[in-house]
Amino acid sequence: MILERENSGSILFHLGRCHTYGYDCFLCQAAVCDESSFRDRLILRRSQRILTVLNRFPYNNGHLLVTPRRHIARLDRLTAEEGAELLAEITRMTALLEKHLNANGFNVGLNLGRCAGAGLPGHLHWHIVPRWNGDTNFITTIGSTKAIPQSMEALVDLLGGKE
């Protein structure tokens, strides 16, 4: 499978590994992996253009990442189709999180560039962080620790593949 790579024309992905620059991108791996590893990789949905995964290091229960399958770092590299599908997926996932986790609100955000806090600056990804009334408690405030009440595997089963 050939996926376009910013500033380098194209890059060959083989067995789910991205070999450019010796840099392994977990989103690129998720973009090409076999469907049998969706649960291990916490992949909720993958279409021709986009991908939705649970964040392995969540700020809150149900914290998701919505991303184009292509390894691109800039908004102006998105096609119109990717942009439309990403917004549709963000809309769809917030509705699912409201329905299945009873979220009261969301932080939806994009960190562009390492200086803006992007943990993976080469591959665009939107964070969806569900919020509940009163979800910042004393443990979060004083201990910089978050209690996550649900396992990742249970969330994949709950949210993956649903309409």
Task: Name which of 25 and 155 has its Cβ closer to Zn ion.
Answer: 25
Q: Rule CB under 5 A: is residue 49 a binding residue for Zn ion?
A: no
Buried b (16+ CB within 10 A) or exposed e, 39-66: eebbbbbbeebbbbbbbeebebbbbbbb
Active-site positions read 125
Which stretch of DSSP H or E encloses residue 129?
strand 126-131
Q: Rule CB under 5 A: is residue 5 a binding residue for Zn ion?
A: no
Q: Rule CB under 5 A: is residue 72 a binding residue for Zn ion?
A: no
CA distance 54 to 62: 7
Q: Rule CB under 5 A: is residue 27 a binding residue for Zn ion?
A: yes
Contact 125, 110 (CB under 8 A): yes
Which stretch in 54-62, 65-73, 99-107, 129-137 sits in contact with Zn ion by CB under 5 A?
65-73
Out of 13, 20, 25, 49, the residue judged to bind Zn ion by CB under 5 A: 25
Could you list the residues that contact Zn ion (CB under 5 A)? 25, 27-28, 71, 123
